[in-house]
Structure 1
Amino acid sequence: MNLPQVSGAVSTAPADIQHLSFRVRQARYALPIELVREIIEYGQITSVPMMPACIHGVINLRGNVVPVLDLAARFGMERTVPSKRTCIVIIELELNESLQRIGLVVDAVDAVLDIQAADVEPAPGFGAGIRTEFIAGMARDERGFTIILDVRKVLSLDDILQISQAMAQAS
């Protein structure tokens, strides 16, 4: 009996991706779920001297030192004052051929969204409240727009260098 071959993909176009949606102030943002490793409660953060205002410091995550960046401060807003819904989204990026975990402070995590490529529009030239180079696209749904972040642009090379230095100082 010949059985049909089944691939790992389930009838989803490559551009249709799941995203984690969250809020920073009143705006809705999203990141591709493939970057997200976990979501933790905002907790004890060790400050590191001489870091930019957008870097809260570092946390100990199961024995690993993880730098924590405040997205609101990175977007030019006031630094986040933690509340009961404030979370740290732990993402993992490949930088210089090694994996780097970074915590992103957000006001609240909302949901995992299935964003279809047809529902994504290019970044507007102005009016999004953050620098346009931080925006990979704008996803439209019944509640309005969700800003899809280009996390590599949000974390500039200078920031990543400072984060690496902070990790070296903290260990």
Structure 2
Amino acid sequence: MDEKTRQNNTYLTFFLDEELYGLNIQMVREVLEFTAITRVPMTADFMRGVINVRGHVVPVIDLRKKFGLAEGERTAETCIIIVELEIDGEAATMGALVDGVKEVLDIPTEQIDAAPRLGSRLDTRFIAGIGKLADAFVILLNIDEIFSDRELSMIAGLRQQVEEQEE
């Protein structure tokens, strides 16, 4: 298997409410310990605020809230995954607050099933697939599909607003 193919099937796995999720490693820039997040007023409830990452304003979203899960306790394992995504054709950086990171896994294509159809009430477009491990399933996320265009515009606007206030 060549390096590009291997990279496409390599996932950073993490926990939300005791469920295992994965993000393609190509989307992940780094993992940070939990740090103070500056709340920005008048934003969606899943928007936790912004953090400073080496001089850059990075919006942080709470994946638990985005997925409609109960708010979790902050622990020593709570962290922020910094991801790269595309907003209006431009690369953007965003933080995702998660309960804890587990490990980086290679999941062969033959061990990944398509997202299950769960009826019309549940939006599964953000699920890239379900990885089958020996003892568990990994819900593989498509980070670009997790947010609507309106939400992505809001995130981009938030970053711009904070940067203008700092000038």
Same fold (TM over 0.5): yes
Q: Which has the larger radius of gyration?
A: 1
Q: Which residue matches 2:66? A: 74
The separation in 2 between residues aligned to 1:126 and 1:141, in whole angstroms, is 21
Contact 1:16 1:116 in 2 (8 A): no
Q: Which residue matches 1:112? A: 104
- 1:10-159 pair list within 5 angstroms: 10=2, 13=5, 17-126=9-118, 131-159=123-151
CA drift of 1:13 comes to: 4.2
Q: Which residue matches 1:3? A: none
Contact 1:54 1:79 in 2 (8 A): no
Paired letter, 1:109: V
The separation in 1 between residues aligned to 2:161 and 2:143, in whole angstroms, is 24
CA drift of 1:14 comes to: 6.6
CA drift of 1:16 comes to: 5.3
Consecutive unaligned residues in structure 2, runs of 5 or more: none
Q: Which residue matches 1:163? A: 155
In structure 2, do the counterparts of structure 1 residues 52 and 81 end up closer, same or farther at CA, with 3 Å as the change threshold? farther
The separation in 2 between residues aligned to 1:158 and 1:112, in whole angstroms, is 31
CA drift of 1:11 comes to: 6.9
Provide TM-score, normalisation by structure 1: 0.87
RMSD: 2.0
Cα deviations by residue, 1:23-54 (Å, 9 ceiling, x for unpaired): 01111000100010000011110001111111
In proportion to residue count, which structure has more helix? 2
The separation in 2 between residues aligned to 1:15 and 1:84, in whole angstroms, is 29
Paired letter, 2:94: I
Report the secondary structure of 1:88's partner residue. strand
In structure 2, do the counterparts of structure 1 residues 141 and 47 end up closer, same or farther at CA, with 3 Å as the change threshold? same
Provide TM-score, normalisation by structure 2: 0.89
Consecutive unaligned residues in structure 1, runs of 5 or more: 1-8
Paired letter, 1:133: R
Cα deviations by residue, 1:105-151 (Å, 9 ceiling, x for unpaired): 01010000001100001111229xx7322211000011221000011
